[in-house]
Structure 1
Amino acid sequence: MGERKACPDEAIIIDIPEDLEPDLNSTCWIHRVPRKLRQVHEAAYTPQLISIGPLHYDEPKLNAMEQHKTKYHDQFWKRDFSKHIRENDIRDFIEEGARRERIWCSYAGSFELMNNRDMFFRVILRDVSFIFELFLRNYEHVLDNNDKPEEMKKDIQDYILRTPWLRKAVELDLIMLENQLSYFIFTELFDFILKKQPENQGNMNIPPYLSKHWKESESHDFFIRITCEFFIDYYRNGKATIKKPGEVELQQLNKIKHFTDLNKFAFSDDLL
C-alpha cells in the first residue's frame, strides 16, 4: 500500500507539548529549552552548579550550593539598609496580588513547584536575596579598589568571588534561560526596601553608594549597574562597556525580562 499524502485542503493538527508552548500573554516568560535543542549540547542549556528559580529546584546535583544561597540570603537581610524590613513586610511584598500573579506567570510549562505555590514564592524570594547579596559584594569590591594602584588593591574575601572557577560557573549558570528570575522582582524589591527606610534615622542605615531619596529611575539605574558589573566578564571577554548612569531610560529598563535579556539594554552598542 502506498504512503498516504495529505491533501492541500486537509487540516494537519500538531500536538505541541505544554513545555514548548509558552504563554505569550504573560509579563515575561521563562521556559525550558526545547528537548531537541538541548540534545545538541546538554551542558550549554543546563545549570551545572546552582539552581535559580523553580525549573531546576531541588535537583540533587545542584544541592551543594543551597547552603551558600541560604547564607547569602540571611546576610542580605542583616545589612544596615535592609534589616529594618520585617518578615510581615516581606510577606506583604511577595503576596501583593498583581505582583504575585506576574511572578507566577513568568514561567511557562510545568515544574515541580506548580502544586506548591507557597514554596514556589519562598524559593523565588530566597534566590532574589542571594543574587542581591552576591552582586552587592562584587560591586563593593570593585568600588573599594577603583583608582587604586595594583599593590594597594584589597583581596576579595567573598567565597564565591575569590575562587575564579567558582565565580565563572555561577556567572554562566545565572545567564541561562532556564535559571532566570523576572527582572522586575529585583527592581521592585529594591524600591520597596529603600522607601521603607525609617524616617527618624536619616541616612544612617544607607551605605554611601545608596540613597533613600532616589527617584525610581535612579534606583533602577543602580541595580542595572551592579548587575552589569557582575556579568562584565561574560560580555566580549570583559571588553564591553557598561552604559553610564542615566544613559538607559526607565522605559528601557522596564523592558528587561531577565538576565539573559540584559545585553540589549545595558551595554554599549558598539561592542555588542
Structure 2
Amino acid sequence: MVVVFNKDLLSWYLITVKLKETIEAGLENTPRSIGSPRPPQQQQQQPPFELPQVVGINGEIEKHEFDQSQANIPRESEWVISIREKLEQARRDEVSSSWSKLCIYRVPHSLRDPADQKAYIPQVVSLGPYHHGRTALREMEQHKWRALHRILNRADQDINIYLDSMKELEEKARACYEQPVSLSSDEFVEIMVLDGCFILELFRGAAGGFTALGYDRNDPVFAVRGTMHSIQRDMIMLENQIPLFVLDRLLSLQLGKPDQKGLVSRLALGFFDPLMPTEPLTVSDRNKLGSSLGHEDIAFDPLSDQGALHCLDVFRISLLHKGAQPVPRIWFRRRSHANPVADKRRQQLIHCVTDLKNAGIKFKKRRTDRFWDIKFENGVLKIPRLLVHDGTKSLFFNLIAFEQCHLNCTNDITSYVIFMDNLINSAEDVGYLHSHGILEHWLGNDTEVADLFNRICQEVVFDINDSYLSRLSEQVNTYYNHRWNGWRATLKYKYFNNPWAIVSFIAAVFLLLLTFTQSFYGVYGYYRPSS
C-alpha cells in the first residue's frame, strides 16, 4: 500500500503506473526465439493493482476512484484548453461590444466613497438594470405599476404597443450600458417600459400638476411633498439613467405623435430645476447682465439638437449652455510623440482663499446664473454665487463621474469643482467666501462645506491643460507671485484694518513731519545764523 500526502501527486502516480503497464505489455507481445526461456520476473504473477491512498488534512485516509480517461490526458493540455476558451470568450465580447454607444456607466471604484454611498447609490427608486431588484427599493415598484396603469387608461391604449416598440429599441438600449445586462429580453423590455413611463409621469406631473393627470392630492408619490426631493436626487445619478431615445419613444406613444424629440429634455429641466446649484436671476439683473456683455444672452433651447444622451447629460448641458468659454492655455509643452496623461501632481490650479487674500487679491460676487463663469480683473477675483445643500455633493459627484467616464464630453464641471477645492482648504476660507456672498450653504457648519469639496475631488484626475480655468489660474498666480502686491496687502491688513489704526498712522506721520521740520530748522539755524 502506498500512502500519498498530496492530491496532486496522485495524478502523476496513476499516470506512471499506466505507462509502466503499457511498456510491460509491449515487451510480452515481442516475438521470441523458440526455446528461449521467459525471464523469471515475467513468469511471476504480478500483484493486483492497488489504488494509492491520500491522507487528508485531518489525518483521515481519503479514497479516490481511478479514472482511466484522466490518466491519458496531460495536465498541460487541460490548462491550454482553458486558456483557449477564455480567449474565444474575449473575442466574442469584443465583437458583440459597441463601445461608441456607451453613455450609462458604473461609477469607477476609484471614485466610490464607502463612507457616503448615498451620493451614487439610489435610496428610494431604481431606474434601469443596474439596481433593479434591490430589496431596499422594491417599495417603489408598486407605484411604477400604478403609473403605467394610469397612462394606459388615460390614453386608452394596450400594453402591447409599448412592448413591441421597445423590442425594436432593445439592442440599441442595451449598448448604452457599460456592463453586459444579464436580464432576458422580456425582462429588459419590461424595465424600459415600466421605468420609462414612471419617469415621464413624474416629468409631466411636475410641469402641469399631478391632479391634472388624475392623481389624488394626497398621493404618497405623485404629489409635491418631501419625498420628491429624494426621488429627484436618485434620478440624477449616473447609474440610474434611462437612454433619452427610449423616453422620447415612450412619450411619442403616449401623445400619439411620432416626432417628439426634445420635449423630454424640456420636461426634465423643469423637474430638476430645484437641484440647480445657483439661484435664478431677476429680470432686471438679467437685463443688466446682457447689456454689460454687449450682446443678448441666448437662452438654452432643449428642443434644439444638443445630442443629449440621458437626463443627467441634459442637466449638465443646461448648466454649461450660456456664454463662450475661454480657450484652455497650455501650461507646459507636451512631447510630440508622447500620449497626454493626466498628472495628479499638477491639479493645484490656484492657492487657497487665505493665501490669496494675504497676497492682496480681493473677492467679489459676480451677478450671473452661470456658477462656473469666474473672472479675474485688476486683482479682483469675481466668482458667481454657489448654493450648497444636502444634494449638492451627489449632484457634483455624478456629473464628475460622467465626465471622467465619457470621453466625448468636456471636463468643465470637474475643472470648476477642483478650482473651488483649491480655494477652500478650511472653515475660515468658507466663512470668508460666505461673508462676501459667494458661497451660501444650509449645512451644519463651515467645516462640513470644506470637507465636502475636499472629499469629492480626492480621487479625481484630469489634465490641467484641458481646463477652461487654466488661463485665469495663471493670471491669479502671476499676481500672487508679485512681491509688491504682498507687501501692499500686508501693510493694508496690518496697519489699515480699522479706523483707529488709520488715525494712529496719520498721527504718527504728522508727528514725524513735525520732528523732521524741527530738526531741519535747527540744523539750518546752526549753519546760517540770523544776522
TM-score of the aligned structures, taking structure 2 as reference length: 0.36
1:240-255 superposed matches below 5 A: 247-252=301-306, 255=307
Q: Does 1:172 align with 2:172?
A: no
Does the Cα contact within 8 Å between 1:232 and 1:238 map onto a contact in 2?
Answer: no
- What secondary structure does 1:220 align onto? coil
1:106-121 superposed matches below 5 A: 106-111=176-181, 114-121=182-189
Provide the rounded CA distance (Å) in 2 between the counterparts of 1:110 and 1:238. Answer: 40
Q: Give the match for residue 4 of structure 1.
A: none
Q: Give the match for residue 43 of structure 1.
A: 118
The C-alpha deviation readout for 1:129-160, integer Å capped at 9, x for no partner, is 1111121122112998xxxxxxxxxx954432
The C-alpha deviation readout for 1:41-99, integer Å capped at 9, x for no partner, is 322111011111100010111111111111112112222xx32x323322221112xx2
- What secondary structure does 2:261 align onto? helix
Does the Cα contact within 8 Å between 1:103 and 1:182 map onto a contact in 2?
Answer: yes
Provide the rounded CA distance (Å) in 2 between the counterparts of 1:166 and 1:185. Answer: 25
Provide the rounded CA distance (Å) in 2 between the counterparts of 1:23 and 1:72. Answer: 33
The C-alpha deviation readout for 1:18-49, integer Å capped at 9, x for no partner, is 9xxx95312x4212111231135322111011
Does the Cα contact within 8 Å between 2:148 and 2:197 map onto a contact in 1?
Answer: yes
| Structure 1: unaligned runs, 5 residues or longer | 1-17, 145-154, 196-211
Q: Give the match for residue 105 of structure 1.
A: 175
Quick one: percent identity of the two aligned structures?
Answer: 26
Q: Give the match for residue 277 of structure 2.
A: 236
CA RMSD of aligned residues (A): 3.2
1:112-191 superposed matches below 5 A: 114-141=182-209, 156-160=217-221, 162=223, 164-191=225-252
The C-alpha deviation readout for 1:212-246, integer Å capped at 9, x for no partner, is 5xx83xx33432222211111011256389x9999
The C-alpha deviation readout for 1:151-172, integer Å capped at 9, x for no partner, is xxxx954432546331111000
* Counterparts in 2 of 1:43 and 1:193: CA distance versus 1, 3 Å: closer
- What secondary structure does 2:119 align onto? helix
Does the Cα contact within 8 Å between 1:69 and 1:126 map onto a contact in 2?
Answer: yes
Does the Cα contact within 8 Å between 2:204 and 2:267 map onto a contact in 1?
Answer: yes
* Counterparts in 2 of 1:238 and 1:166: CA distance versus 1, 3 Å: farther
Q: CA deviation at 1:117?
A: 2.2
Provide the rounded CA distance (Å) in 2 between the counterparts of 1:244 and 1:221. Answer: 18
- Between 1 and 2, higher relative CO (CA 8 Å, sep ≥ 6) is seen in 1
Does the Cα contact within 8 Å between 2:192 and 2:242 map onto a contact in 1?
Answer: yes
Moved more, 171-180 or 118-127: 118-127
Select which of 145, 162, 180 maps to 1:90.
162
Does the Cα contact within 8 Å between 2:124 and 2:137 map onto a contact in 1?
Answer: yes
Provide the rounded CA distance (Å) in 2 between the counterparts of 1:158 and 1:131. Answer: 16
Q: Does 1:257 align with 2:327?
A: no
- What secondary structure does 1:94 align onto? helix
Provide the rounded CA distance (Å) in 2 between the counterparts of 1:164 and 1:193. Answer: 26
Select which of 369, 375, 389 maps to 1:271.
369
The structure with the larger Rg is: 2
Which residue type is aligned with residue 113 of structure 2? Q
